[in-house]
Chain A
Amino acid sequence: MLCDKCHKNKATIHFTKIVNGKKIEMHLCKDCARDNSNINAEFSMENFLSDMFGEFTLKESNTEYKCSNCGMTYQQFKRYGKFGCSECIDAFEEKIEPLIQNIHGHRRHKGKAPGEHIDSSEKEMTEVKKLRQELKEAVEVENYEKAAELRDQIKTLEGKEE
């Protein structure tokens, strides 16, 4: 088999790329492969990740996502493979959720959360208790608008526990 690029030398390096679900096979000779930056690039987690992002995001690249908190764009994130701040993940959520699923095989965190050792359930309970007290007071003074608001808040908090 001759090299796909120079059509002169024997192809000794074969690789497969998947773009938009389409399989592209390439067969190159040693020299052409060396010129091909994709192969030549040193393996690093960053390169690997940004290639992964590439595969995932080729489909739609018209809208530019940007984190309003730190200013990092999705393009930059793809290059670095790292978030710029704690808000980036929300800004890019739509795009990176499939990637996260691919890396971890899951989409949802299980395990500890900040402030948990203060016993979050207890914290939420006291919150509900407080709101109930306020609700009672609101009803007493016939402030039904506020009461409705409080009732909704209690519902959300209690809903969380289910």
Chain B
Amino acid sequence: MTKWIDNSGTEKDIVVSSRIRYARNLRNHKFPILLDKNGSDEIYKEISEIVKNNDIYGKNFARFKTSDIPDLEKNMLIERHIISPALIKNQDISGFILSNDEKISIMINEEDHLRLQVLSSGLNLKECLEKADEIDEILDEKLKYAFNKQFGYITACPTNLGTGMRASSMLHLPGLVLSGRLGKLLNTISKFGISVRGVYGEGSKSLGNLFQISNQTTLGNDEKTIVDKVEKTAIQIVNREKEARTYLMDENNIEIDDKTHRAYGILTNTKIISTDEAVKLLSLVMLGVDLGLIENKKKINFNKLFVEIQPMNIQFEAREELNERERDIKRAEIIKNTLKRESEKS
């Protein structure tokens, strides 16, 4: 379950995860938007055979055609950030290859022929880039990548041209949100070519105080420069978050203690709870743990819990389809059990 979220990496209290994505296309095939079944089968075969026949990676990857996967599992994989909704939209022609540890995935015939993604927990962008380059080179040796000296790697959408790379980090920023400092900071960041979006929730509204930052543009700077910029921005934000937490502890000690413990109280006693409420309260409990207000002797992996309480993951674990009410009951159980194990130990 949610294997890639293994709580490794630096700054993991605040940086939940890092991700590098390369978009690549093949010269000798039409792009997915014009691709027919035969063409897509060829590409799927071509790419998956390369991985399968590779000495180092062959044994550690499994390949799937999207249409062969039950709907429930597909949606669960989206919640775990392993595949994208666009891959499912293209399910007649798409597939994916996934490493056993779920850290590396290659989506085939999503928007582009290839979307190589390397995930890691914590702030780990440089390592992700190294890994992505390693796999990219293995594929490059056997495939004819679409490339043009001026515009770089040719992607289906002009917004991905050049490096075809998106470097992103997911950050947990309750301190900045609670102290009301986030808006101003995000404004400044966007001026430096970094985009920010909420992870859970629609539009600008973010639940659980989780935000993803990534490079806005892909052409004109090389991969290392881009990664460096995203990483430096992440570190800046982490420092601001730490300052905000210190401020909250100094100025609003009792309020924060109260807020985080109330959240803990609800989560350990709830009988039925929605995803939205659970995500909100879990963020506060995490903050309480980070600030040393709430004990976490059992070292609960909260980042993992965030994913495990998403609707599809709950159903997948239950091995049956559940309606919303049934899921909300199950969710309360999962959270309570996880947190209870903690209090029994202490």
Contact = CB atoms under 8 A, between A and B. Distances in A.
Contact of B162 (A83, A86, A111): A111
Given A110-B220, A114-B147, 9 more contacts: A82-B156, A86-B31, A96-B158, A100-B161, A100-B219, A103-B217, A106-B162, A112-B133, A112-B223
Contacts, number: 110
Closest 3 CB pairs of A and B: A106-B220, A109-B152, A86-B146
Nearest to A81: B157
Interface size class on chain B is: 35 or more
Contacts of B219: 100, 103-104, 106, 108-109
B30 A84 contact: yes
A42 to B, nearest CB: 12
Interface string A88-113: 01100000100110011111111111
Interface string B8-30: 00000000000000000111011
Contacts of B140: 114-115, 117
A72 interface: yes
Contacts of A109: 148-153, 161-163, 219-220
Nearest to B161: A100
A129 B57 CA distance: 36
B159 A45 contact: yes
Given A96-B158, A105-B217, A106-B219, A82 B147 contact: no
A106 B215 CA distance: 14
Interface of B: 25-27, 29-31, 33-34, 111, 133, 137, 140, 145-159, 161-163, 165, 217-223, 225
B34 A105 contact: no
A49 B220 contact: no
B34 A100 contact: no
Contacts of B149: 109, 113
Contacts of A103: 158-159, 217, 219
A39 interface: no
Contacts of A86: 25-27, 31, 146, 148, 154
Interface of A: 45, 49, 70, 72, 80-86, 89-90, 96, 99-100, 103-115, 117
B148 A110 contact: no
A107 B163 contact: no
B35 to A, nearest CB: 9
Given A49-B158, A104-B161, A104-B162, A111 B148 contact: no
A105 B159 CA distance: 11
A114 B223 contact: no
A56 B253 CA distance: 55
Contacts of A80: 33
A111 B152 contact: yes
Contact of A90 (B31, B148, B225): B148
Contacts of A96: 158
Given A104-B217, A104-B218, A109-B162, A82 B148 contact: no
B137 to A, nearest CB: 5
Contacts of B150: 107-109
Contact of B222 (A45, A49, A111): A111
Contacts of A111: 152, 162-163, 165, 221-223
Given A49-B159, A109-B149, A111-B162, A85 B34 contact: yes
B222 A70 contact: no
B158 to A, nearest CB: 6
Contacts of B29: 85
Contacts of B163: 109, 111-112
B111 to A, nearest CB: 7
Nearest to B28: A86
B112 to A, nearest CB: 9
Contact of B111 (A82, A100, A110, A114): A82
Contacts of A105: 217, 220
- Considering residues B133, B140, B145, B163, which has the most beta carbons from chain A within 10 angstroms of its beta carbon? B140
B222 A83 contact: no
